[in-house]
């Protein structure tokens, strides 16, 4: 593992680590995925479940990854191997595989975002349409989300990711996040104020913020896996990113406080995104579950067409989203790259370029049709990340509980019974919820494969 050690940078400061982890967490998951999950799963009913899962499952699961990372001080695969013997070592391989899958469609969506920076600058998605035709933004989205355009921008996104990761992670991420997080908050706060003035705002708020418990009870079988998957996806859990990032931490760091800050930041940005997207959708008479993966590209884009300085705001908005996507993508690919450097002795540049190229190929089919995004996304969030999470959590809190508690207490000091509360929370309720979510997620995927996806294949 010596090559990686030499290549590896450490966070120069505590804030450097928090920023990098926030950079990984805040991304398309918050701005692109969150709104359409809320839209498809019934609004506030989903929101309640999601928030509960973030606090009760996401946060403890993040502690699990932090503990493994800091204790071993190694990349994901090495960390797992050192932490546990036997068949557990394959878990690191699973994480690498998950990184590949997520990255391949993440980059396609990242490409859409970059395309929208141009579209904002040249007015591509604004302008008049014929009476009764779909809004310009919807037409624009259906043109650029598939085909050569999508493939080209998928490639461009990958090239930028490769460039940054090949050059070294720390400067890129730290700088990116220092600009990105304040920019997202400022631009989003302004857009949320704008959204508040729209005619559909009141209806949107009640849809988004006042949960219908009856709906929740009737639909828990689809809400539960969606909420668990979204919690893992948005917090970058279940595939070892947080293991890798925590491996650079020192022992006097309070993991609980760091984790809590990351969770709060990340959740705040998702909540804010909803406050923008839903008023816009309701004002445009678009059903919130409708455009699916296109929700934000159609709705926010449409709104930008109707506000003063829309061009400037559009460039800033999609520019910021692109940065958020890049800083997450970096964390995804870094898991795979550090593994390749360790196992196969590649130098950083060769590893990054080779893996980047493979990811480009794996992502290429996603540009055929937007149903392909679902094919990858449901698999990733509702099956793979949850599987990774279940296995890692089991390993840490059942097989290596004493070490875990010992590691967690470093930097926190004596935390008495809090330690066993954490342990038992993760041991039983967290694991049960994750397992139930996974089973439901698998069922949902089977339905998708035999339904929408089979139909798509039939029409080819």
CA distance 52 to 227: 9
- The piece of 28-36, 130-138, 281-289, 291-299 that touches ligand PHE (CB under 6 A) is 28-36
Comparison of 332 and 423: residue with beta carbon closer to ligand PHE: 332
* 83 touches ligand PHE by CB under 6 A: no
Q: How far is the CB of 239 from ligand PHE (least distance, A)?
A: 5
* Binding string, residues 325-344; x marks residues near ligand PHE by CB under 6 A: ---x--xx------------
DSSP assignments along 413-448, one per residue? ---HHHHHHHHHHIIIIIHHHHHHHHHHHHHHHHHH
Q: Is 318 helix (H, G, I), strand (E, B) or coil?
A: helix
* 102 touches ligand PHE by CB under 6 A: yes
Q: How far is the CB of 171 from ligand PHE (least distance, A)?
A: 20
Comparison of 244 and 370: residue with beta carbon closer to ligand PHE: 244
CA distance 387 to 404: 20
| Burial class of 352 by CB neighbour count within 10 A (0 to 12, 13 to 18, 19+) | buried
- The piece of 23-31, 179-187, 392-400, 436-444 that touches ligand PHE (CB under 6 A) is 23-31
Tokens encoding 196: 């508040």
Q: How far is the CB of 270 from ligand PHE (least distance, A)?
A: 9
* 273 touches ligand PHE by CB under 6 A: no
CA distance 257 to 19: 14
Which helix (DSSP H) or strand (DSSP E) does residue 347 occupy? none
Q: How far is the CB of 37 from ligand PHE (least distance, A)?
A: 11
Binding residue (CB under 6 A) for ligand PHE from 161, 241, 275, 330: 241
Comparison of 4 and 24: residue with beta carbon closer to ligand PHE: 24
Comparison of 335 and 341: residue with beta carbon closer to ligand PHE: 335
133: left (phi over 0), alpha (psi -120 to 50) or beta: beta
Tokens encoding 258: 């760091």
Comparison of 78 and 99: residue with beta carbon closer to ligand PHE: 99
**Chain mean position to CA 127:** 32
Q: How far is the CB of 218 from ligand PHE (least distance, A)?
A: 28
* Binding string, residues 287-326; x marks residues near ligand PHE by CB under 6 A: ----------------------------------------
> Which position has the token pair 């300085």?
309
Binding residue (CB under 6 A) for ligand PHE from 19, 25, 137, 144: 25
Q: How far is the CB of 234 from ligand PHE (least distance, A)?
A: 4
* 30 touches ligand PHE by CB under 6 A: yes
Q: How far is the CB of 266 from ligand PHE (least distance, A)?
A: 8
Distances (CA, A) of 329 to 21, 54, 178, 283, 444: 12, 21, 17, 33, 26
Binding residue (CB under 6 A) for ligand PHE from 8, 11, 16, 27: 27
SS (H, E, C) 244-277: HHHCCCCCCCCHHHHHHHHHHHHHHHHHHHHHHH
Q: Are 349 and 166 spatial neighbours (Cβ–Cβ below 8 Å)? A: yes
* 234 touches ligand PHE by CB under 6 A: yes
CA distance 76 to 325: 22
Q: How far is the CB of 235 from ligand PHE (least distance, A)?
A: 6
* 239 touches ligand PHE by CB under 6 A: yes
Contacts of 177 (CB under 8 A, 6+ apart): 19, 20, 22, 23, 327
Comparison of 4 and 234: residue with beta carbon closer to ligand PHE: 234
Q: Are 305 and 214 spatial neighbours (Cβ–Cβ below 8 Å)? A: no
Which residue has the CB atom at the shortest distance from ligand PHE? 29
Q: How many residues bind ligand PHE (CB under 6 A)?
A: 15
* 28 touches ligand PHE by CB under 6 A: yes
Q: How far is the CB of 329 from ligand PHE (least distance, A)?
A: 8
* 233 touches ligand PHE by CB under 6 A: yes
Comparison of 241 and 434: residue with beta carbon closer to ligand PHE: 241
- The piece of 188-196, 231-239, 298-306, 356-364 that touches ligand PHE (CB under 6 A) is 231-239
Tokens encoding 117: 């920076």
**Chain mean position to CA 68:** 21
CA distance 148 to 151: 5
**Phi then psi dihedrals of residue 279, to 5 deg:** -55, -35
Comparison of 102 and 255: residue with beta carbon closer to ligand PHE: 102
Residues near ligand PHE (CB under 6 A)? 24-25, 27-30, 102, 233-234, 236, 239, 241, 328, 331-332
């Amino acid at each position: 593992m010596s090559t990686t050690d030499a290549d590896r940078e450490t966070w120069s400061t505590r804030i450097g680590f928090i920023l990098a982890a926030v950079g990984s967490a805040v991304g398309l998951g918050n701005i692109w995925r969150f709104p359409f999950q809320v839209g498809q799963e019934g609004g506030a009913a989903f929101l309640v479940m999601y928030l509960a899962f973030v606090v009760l499952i996401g946060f403890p699961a993040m502690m699990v990854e932090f503990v493994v990372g800091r204790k071993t001080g190694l990349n994901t695969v090495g960390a797992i191997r050192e932490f546990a013997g036997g068949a557990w070592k394959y878990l690191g391989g699973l994480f690498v595989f998950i990184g590949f899958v997520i990255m391949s469609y993440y980059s396609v969506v990242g490409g859409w975002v970059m395309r929208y920076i141009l579209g904002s600058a040249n007015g591509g998605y604004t302008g008049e349409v014929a009476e009764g035709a779909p809004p310009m933004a919807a037409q624009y989205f259906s043109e650029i989300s598939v085909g050569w355009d999508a493939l080209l921008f998928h490639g461009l996104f990958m090239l930028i990711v490769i460039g940054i990761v090949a050059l070294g992670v720390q400067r890129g991420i730290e700088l990116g996040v220092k600009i990105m997080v304040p920019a997202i908050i400022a631009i989003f706060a302004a857009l949320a104020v704008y959204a508040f003035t729209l005619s559909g705002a009141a209806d949107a708020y009640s849809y988004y913020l006042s949960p219908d418990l009856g709906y929740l009870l009737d639909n828990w079988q689809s809400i539960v896996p969606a909420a668990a998957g979204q919690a893992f996806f948005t917090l970058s859990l279940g595939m070892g990113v947080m293991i890798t990032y925590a491996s650079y931490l020192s022992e006097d760091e309070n993991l609980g406080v760091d984790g809590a800050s990351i969770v709060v930041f990340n959740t705040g940005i998702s909540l804010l995104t909803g406050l923008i997207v839903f008023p816009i959708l309701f004002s445009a008479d678009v059903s919130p579950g409708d455009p699916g993966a296109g929700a934000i590209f159609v709705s926010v884009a449409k709104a930008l067409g109707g506000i003063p300085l829309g061009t400037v705001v559009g460039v800033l908005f999609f520019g910021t989203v692109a940065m958020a996507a890049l800083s997450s993508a970096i964390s995804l690919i870094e898991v795979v790259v550090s593994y390749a450097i360790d196992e196969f002795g590649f130098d950083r540049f060769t590893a990054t370029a080779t893996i980047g190229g493979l990811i480009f190929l794996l992502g290429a089919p996603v540009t055929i049709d937007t149903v392909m995004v679902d094919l990858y996304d449901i698999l990733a969030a509702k099956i793979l990340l949850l599987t990774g999470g279940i296995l890692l959590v089991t390993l840490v809190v059942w097989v290596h509980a004493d070490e875990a508690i010992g590691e967690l207490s470093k930097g926190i000091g004596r935390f008495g019974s809090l330690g066993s509360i954490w342990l038992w929370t993760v041991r039983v309720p967290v694991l049960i919820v994750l397992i139930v979510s996974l089973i439901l997620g698998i069922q949902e995927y089977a339905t998708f494969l035999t339904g929408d996806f089979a139909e798509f294949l039939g029409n080819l």
